[in-house]
């Protein structure tokens, strides 16, 4: 594995070029076999999947493809997953080019396909067929998001500085083996295949997150501007079902974001992270707009915190923690506990900067963010950034990083991260002589690059938000334009309403889809026969009946009000009766709100124990 983020260089390495995987493939499908044929120049390798015996093996000198097969080009192999009906081959069927890093093409996954080994489902009973169909739907949903990326000849799971701090031997390792496993989202799908080293050139690590690679021009000097956000597959999930830490210290919604500039062969990189407040806490959806966060009373917050930051320090060096949550109201207890744990840890490599974003920037006074930027300016200057010359000579390295969080680590967090990135970018442009002496980014605030920079960070916010909360980000009007607007506030209101609906009524399915893809839940083919299916969770009768009662009572209230009556007093009694029945049934629904939301089924036991 690479040395630490802030470690000392071991060997001079040119970028992240490595022994890659095959670039071009043909999938041949017969009744008994899947053949994935590598079509790169100079190779005859064919990966063979026996659909009957389920054996997987490599034919290094090719194989005679039998007549009658169906053949088509594919873009890569995501892996194999087992559902109730048996194994499924998951392949990438369409890709689009994002751009190039160090001359190596980076691709976005545009479409995938799941191909069952089985040719018939007669071996399943009716319940198993229904379950298998449900699992297929989950898998396709998890793969359908427009947020998967891969590269066959460059390691996009590592930052430039981590790649620089490696040995040539590391770069000769297979691409999947040397990848940062935090950011390999098809690791579960490739698990069985990865134990066969000879298959390594077919095993593509796929990253989830956001990548933008675009040209920029300032002072007639052309450069490439890149933004890469790597989403961790550890404790991954949806907004309200994955909060805080797990027992290993992995934080929910953890994202590493790297900003890269390439100019005349030189490269500069600046890395930040975001992640859920590193304590043991939860915030289960219960029909309320903002459920009250609950801190665990049984788990040691200090132990979890130390595990998390031990990993952070090894990977990134010194830490500056920017906490943007409220200091009053429902978020107050989290802020106080977080601050106390940091003090109790007695770790002099961690500095804490709380900033009550909503209070400080109330009434659209977003200019007050300059207070926070001034407060952390010395830390940012001390940490620096990574920079190397065109001959791979190291000129700067980043010795620490900012870990920013709010409640969701989405909207407020992205605003602050973009401001830190902009300040770092200005320093890099000065080092590259892209900015003339005495010039600042403000001198180019009307340039096309400034517009592109802001939109890239806003797009990054939208991608991260859709993956975690289900909608685009809030507050992106400030990121895109540099100021808060009435229209932006109205758009935030609309997105908040959509978030409310999704978080309460569809995130259970979304969480299940993620857990299935990542192997947090593994389907047994005997489900429905020797073991019960988690998909057939039964709810108590009263909880299925209450919504019906509420709807009927409300309808009868309206009918009693609208229908003419010769006895007014009797009509008022009917209206009051049905109104009270509506209020009482609705109150019970609110009180038992967790019983009416769309809950995950596959990891339900895990959620109960969190």
- Helix, strand, coil: what percent of the chain each, to 5? 40, 25, 40
Cα separation values, 577 from 110, 163, 582, Å: 56, 71, 9
pLDDT score of 595: 84
- Give the integer Cα–Cα distance in Å for 65 and 46: 10
Residues pairing with 77 in the sheet: 91
pLDDT score recorded for residue 568:
80
Q: For the segment 42-87, what is each residue's pLDDT rounded down to a tens digit?
A: 889 999 999 999 999 999 999 999 988 999 999 999 999 999 999 9
Q: Are 102 and 154 in contact (CB under 8 A)?
A: yes
CA atoms of 561 and 555, how far apart (whole Å): 10
Q: What is the pLDDT of residue 122?
A: 87
Q: How far apart are CA 596 and CA 610, in angstroms?
A: 20
Q: How far apart are the C-alpha atoms of 433 and 422, rounded to whole Å?
A: 16
Q: Which residue bears the tokens 């940490």?
A: 383
What integer pLDDT is reported at residue 482 of this predicted model? 75
CA distance 30 to 170: 38
Pinpoint the alpha helices (H) of 441-567.
448-468, 476-481, 486-505, 507-518, 541-562
According to the model, what pLDDT value does residue 172 have? Answer: 85
Residue 609 is predicted with a pLDDT of: 46
What parts of the chain have a pLDDT lower than 50?
A: 1, 3-4, 6-15, 609
What pLDDT sits at residue 542? 65
- CA distances 143 to 91, 93, 210, 468, 520, Å, are 10, 12, 15, 15, 16
pLDDT at 484: 73
Strands (E), 219-277: 221-231, 255-263, 266-274
Determine how many CB atoms are found less than 10 A away from the CB of residue 391.
Answer: 9
Task: Give the list of residues 6+ apart from residue 21 with CB closer than 8 angstroms, or none.
Answer: 76, 152, 153, 175, 200, 201, 202, 203, 204
Q: What is the pLDDT of residue 364?
A: 81
Structure tokens at 589: 């629904």
Give the pLDDT of residue 606: 52
Q: Residue 492: what pLDDT? A: 81
Contact 278, 246 (CB under 8 A): no
Q: Which residues contact 361 (CB under 8 A, 6 or more apart)?
A: 368, 369
Pick the closest to residue 233 from 518, 466, 512, 521 (CA basis). Answer: 518
- List of long-range contacts for 338-347, beta carbons under 8 Å, 24+ apart: 338/277, 338/278, 338/279, 341/279, 341/301, 341/302, 341/305, 342/305, 344/302, 345/302, 345/305, 345/306, 345/309, 347/306, 347/309
Helix, coil or strand: residue 167:
coil
What is the secondary structure of 328-385 as a DSSP string? SGGGHHHHHHHHHHHHHHT-TTEEEEE--HHHHTGGG-GGGHHHHHHHHHHHHHHH--
Distance CA 248, CA 485 (A): 42
């Amino acid at each position: 594995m690479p040395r630490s983020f802030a470690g000392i260089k071991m060997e001079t390495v040119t970028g992240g070029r490595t022994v890659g995987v095959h670039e071009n493939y043909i999938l041949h499908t017969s009744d008994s076999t899947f053949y994935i044929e590598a079509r790169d120049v100079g190779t005859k390798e064919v990966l063979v999947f026996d659909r009957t015996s389920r054996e997987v093996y490599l034919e290094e000198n090719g194989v005679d493809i039998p007549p009658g097969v169906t053949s088509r080009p594919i873009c890569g192999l995501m892996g194999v997953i087992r559902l109730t009906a048996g194994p499924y081959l998951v392949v990438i069927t369409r890709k689009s080019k994002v751009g190039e890093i160090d001359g190596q093409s980076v691709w976005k996954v545009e479409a995938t396909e799941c191909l069952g080994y089985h040719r018939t489902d007669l071996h399943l009973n009716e319940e198993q067929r229904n379950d298998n169909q449900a699992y297929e739907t989950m898998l396709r949903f998890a793969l359908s998001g427009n947020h998967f990326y891969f590269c066959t000849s460059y390691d996009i799971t590592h930052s430039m500085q981590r790649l620089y701090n490696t040995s040539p031997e590391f770069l000769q390792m297979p691409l999947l083996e040397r990848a940062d496993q935090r950011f390999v989202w098809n690791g579960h799908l490739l698990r069985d295949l990865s134990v066969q080293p000879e298959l390594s050139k077919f095993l593509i690590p796929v990253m989830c997150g956001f990548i933008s690679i675009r040209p920029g021009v300032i002072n007639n000097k052309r450069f490439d501007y890149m933004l890469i956000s790597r989403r961790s597959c550890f404790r991954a999930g949806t907004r309200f079902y994955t909060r805080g830490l797990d027992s290993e210290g992995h934080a929910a919604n953890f994202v590493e974001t790297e900003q890269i500039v390439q100019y005349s062969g030189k490269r500069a990189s600046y890395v930040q992270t975001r992640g859920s407040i590193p304590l043991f806490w939860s915030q289960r959806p219960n029909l309320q707009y903002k459920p009250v966060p609950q801190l665990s009373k049984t788990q040691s917050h200090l132990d979890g915190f130390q595990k998390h930051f031990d990993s952070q320090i090894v990977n990134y060096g010194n830490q500056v923690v920017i906490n943007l949550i409220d200091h009053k109201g429902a978020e107050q207890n989290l802020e106080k506990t977080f601050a106390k744990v940091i003090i109790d840890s007695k770790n002099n490599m961690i500095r804490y900067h709380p900033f009550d974003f909503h209070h400080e920037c109330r009434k659209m006074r977003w200019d007050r963010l300059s207070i926070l930027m001034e407060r952390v300016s010395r830390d940012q200057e001390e940490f620096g950034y990574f920079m190397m010359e065109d001959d791979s000579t190291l000129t700067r390295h980043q010795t620490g990083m900012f870990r920013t969080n709010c409640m969701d680590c989405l909207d407020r967090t992205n605003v602050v991260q973009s401001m830190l990135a902009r300040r770092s970018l200005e320093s890099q442009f000065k080092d590259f002589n892209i900015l003339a002496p005495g010039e600042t980014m403000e001198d180019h605030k009307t340039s096309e690059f400034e517009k592109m920079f802001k939109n890239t960070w806003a797009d990054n916010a939208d991608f991260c938000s859709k993956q975690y909360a289900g909608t685009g980000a809030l507050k992106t009007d400030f990121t895109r334009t540099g100021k808060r607007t009435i229209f932006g506030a109205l758009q935030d209101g609309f997105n908040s309403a959509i978030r409310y609906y999704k978080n309460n009524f569809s995130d259970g399915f979304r969480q299940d889809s993620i857990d299935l893809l990542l192997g947090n839940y593994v389907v047994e083919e005997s489900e429905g026969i020797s073991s019960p299916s988690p998909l057939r969770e039964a709810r108590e009768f009263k909880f299925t009946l209450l919504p019906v009662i509420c709807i009927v009572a409300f309808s009868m209230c309206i009918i009693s009000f609208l229908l003419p009556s010769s006895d007014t007093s009797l009509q008022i009694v009917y209206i009051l009766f049905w109104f009270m029945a509506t209020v009482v049934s609705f109150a019970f629904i609110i009180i038992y709100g967790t019983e009416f939301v769309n809950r995950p089924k596959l990891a339900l036991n895990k959620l109960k124990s969190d």
